[in-house]
């Protein structure tokens, strides 16, 4: 079975049943994270905790080893807000790709509205991200996304995205 067909089958399997993914089944989680084209150091989703037809919950463990902490800021490491938004966008892509059921296109961020940063995210924090579909009409998507640390809102945004007919090599 080709990689594309396997990924499409995996996405359908996940979207057909609400699932909780954890480290107890790392192969299933790894296959699902492979829906994203991102790789280290730009893969900003460490775990998919929950996924159903209209919502996903993901985690990002923020460690001092992150490459961006070297310069942002020396002596006062703070996760850049644009990377928090990128982590939310990657979570949104996981949700969208599970809904469409196949990797027929890339999921590209096209807009941000109502972006608010509410607290600092620092090494040792666990960023819990929740994304919900607000509207979907092929090829356009609107989603509401929130990132929390210990239940406290760290960032929120309305994300706009588009399915683009381009395949990755």
Catalytic residue ranges: 72
CA dihedral 71, 74, 79, 80 (to 10 degrees): -50
Q: Residue 75 has which token pair?
A: 């002596």
Closest CA to 120 of 147, 145, 98: 147
φ, ψ of residue 102 in degrees (nearest 5): -160, 160
- Neighbouring residues of 33: CB distance < 8 A, sequence distance ≥ 6: 43, 45, 48, 94
SS3 84: helix
Closest CA to 61 of 157, 159, 155, 149: 149
Q: Specify the DSSP element, H or E, that contains 128.
A: strand 126-137
CA–CA distance from 94 to each of 38, 99, 124 (Å)? 11, 9, 24
């Amino acid at each position: 079975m080709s990689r594309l067909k396997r990924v499409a089958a995996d996405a359908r399997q996940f979207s057909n049943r609400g699932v909780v993914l954890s480290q107890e089944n790392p192969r299933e989680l790894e296959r699902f994270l492979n829906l994203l084209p991102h790789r280290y150091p730009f893969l900003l989703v460490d775990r998919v905790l929950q996924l159903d037809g209209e919502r996903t919950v993901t985690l990002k463990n923020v460690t001092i080893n992150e490459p961006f902490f070297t310069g942002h800021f020396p002596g006062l490491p703070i996760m850049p807000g644009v990377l928090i938004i990128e982590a939310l966008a990657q979570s949104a892509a996981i949700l969208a790709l599970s809904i469409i059921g196949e990797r027929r296109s890339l999921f590209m961020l096209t807009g941000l509205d109502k972006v608010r940063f509410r607290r600092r995210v620092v090494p040792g924090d666990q960023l819990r991200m929740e994304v919900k579909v607000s509207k979907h009409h092929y090829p356009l998507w609107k989603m509401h996304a929130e990132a929390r640390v210990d239940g406290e809102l760290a960032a929120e945004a309305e994300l706009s995205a588009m399915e683009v007919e381009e395949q990755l090599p």
